Amino acid sequence: MVFEFKFPDIGEGIVEGEIVKWLIKEGEFVKEDQLIVEIQTDKAVAEIPSPKTGTIIKINFKNGETVKVGQTLVTIQEKNEKITKEERKTTSVVGQLEEALEEKQERILKTQVQKKENVKDKILATPKVRNLARKLNVDINLVKGTGKNRIILDDDVINFSKGNIQNKTETNKQAIKLVKKYDFYGYIKRIPLKGVRKVIAENMSKSYSKAVHVTHMDFADITNLSEIREREKPRLEKKGIKLTYLSFVIKAAVLALKEHPYLNATLDEETNEIILKKYYNIGIAVDTNEGLLVPVIKVADSKNITNIAKEIVNLSKSAKERKIDLSDLKGSTFTITNVGSIGGVYATPIINYPESAILALGRIQETPLVINKKIEIRKIMPFSLTFDHRILDGAEAAKFANKIKQILENPDSLKIE
């Protein structure tokens, strides 16, 4: 029996994915649950297993192409069933021999076109299309083909029969777009907007058009925190744990969110209600070769600094290798992005919609400050807090920022283990 394996919905609201890499070839025998393809969906790469044991007789998408949920990925001849050599070559997406023969006939027509010098006088159409023309009382000699090499398609016959040939022709003309490799000043390179970058573009556009963005900026004197980190760092490194400042900031953010819940909220526009989240899932922005991913540290309020540090390393590694599970990219209530790890002091980050706020950390640097009327060199961490002004006001955002600042400047309350 021929089985059509359709691309399933493997995540929350997934509608399409991009083929990253096929792990099998046509004609190859596969076992049930054997991985057959890697597909990028909603920022993560998912490895899709075969639902059946049998022979792959048709792969319907190439690497880099987009497949929508419900479309057939591969056609499988199930185990212990005979399949002829001809069927393996010509079985179509739906596995019907009749349509496979039509494809074969169309390929023959294309070959004939390439061999003929004068194509204009040839009427190119498959038997299926000619039969449709007869049923609709259409003189196929008057129909203009819009397929490759001017082959007449079903739509050409149907539109002609409805008197829409002129509209069809105009539509086709509009669809033809000349793509230039240069502009007025010189040569250019076009890069398709797809995959992670496409998802980021869509999410950022939605966030910017929905939320009312305002950014509050401040800095924290983390001199004391730096001393604690340097003291604990060698001990934890022996356990394979990398202790970063981000671990402390996440813990400080959770404590501040508990006192200022409107920064751990979303806005339900349908019911006009502000939803205060009573759980604390912190998203951390990770820079990868494909774009920015945001893994989520779940129930961060129940974890100490050491556990958070472990999770940061594991999630960041999985994200950069594009092996992260989709569930690890969902459910965040507040997001932190460390701009300073790359460079920069302050920023105006875009909210990870539908969250109400996002915190950007700047580059830590030694700065002269006046302490007790004396100038001292202190370690300073700049930060920028962008919030949705629909959900909270500037005063609440400033109080939240002050709380984070207070905790980071007096870090003795933060438990390492």
Q: CB neighbours of 178 closer than 8 A, spacing ≥ 6? A: none
Catalytically active residues, by annotation: 389
Q: Using CA atoms in the order 27, 33, 38, 43, what is the torsion angle rounded to 10 degrees?
A: 160
* pLDDT tens-digit readout, 217-256: 999 999 999 999 999 999 999 998 999 999 999 999 999 9
Residues belonging to the chain: 417
CA distance 295 to 87: 45
How far is the first Cα of the chain from the last one, in angstroms, to the nearest whole number?
Answer: 58
Q: Tell me, what's the pLDDT at 88?
A: 46
Q: SS3 of 184, please?
A: coil
Q: Could you state, in order of their start, the residue ranges of all structural domains in the chain? A: 2-95, 98-175, 196-413
CATH code of 2-95, in short, is 2.40.50.100
CA distance 69 to 257: 38
Nearest C-alpha neighbor of 326 from the set 199, 232, 204: 199
* pLDDT tens-digit readout, 128-166: 788 888 888 888 888 888 887 788 888 888 888 877 544
The long-range contacts involving 106-109, CB below 8 angstroms and separated by at least 24 positions, are 106/151, 109/149, 109/151
pTM to 2 decimal places: 0.68
- Domain 98-175: state its class: few secondary structures
- 282-284/334-338 β-pairing: parallel
* pLDDT under 50: residue ranges of the chain: 85-99, 101-102, 105, 108-109, 112-113, 115-121, 165-170, 173
Q: Give me the half-sphere count of Cα atoms (radius 13 Å) on the Cβ side of residue 66.
A: 12
Q: Tell me, what's the pLDDT at 40?
A: 81
For the CA atoms of the chain, what is the radius of gyration? 30
Q: Tell me, what's the pLDDT at 366?
A: 96
Tell me the CATH architecture of domain 196-413: 2-Layer Sandwich (3.30)
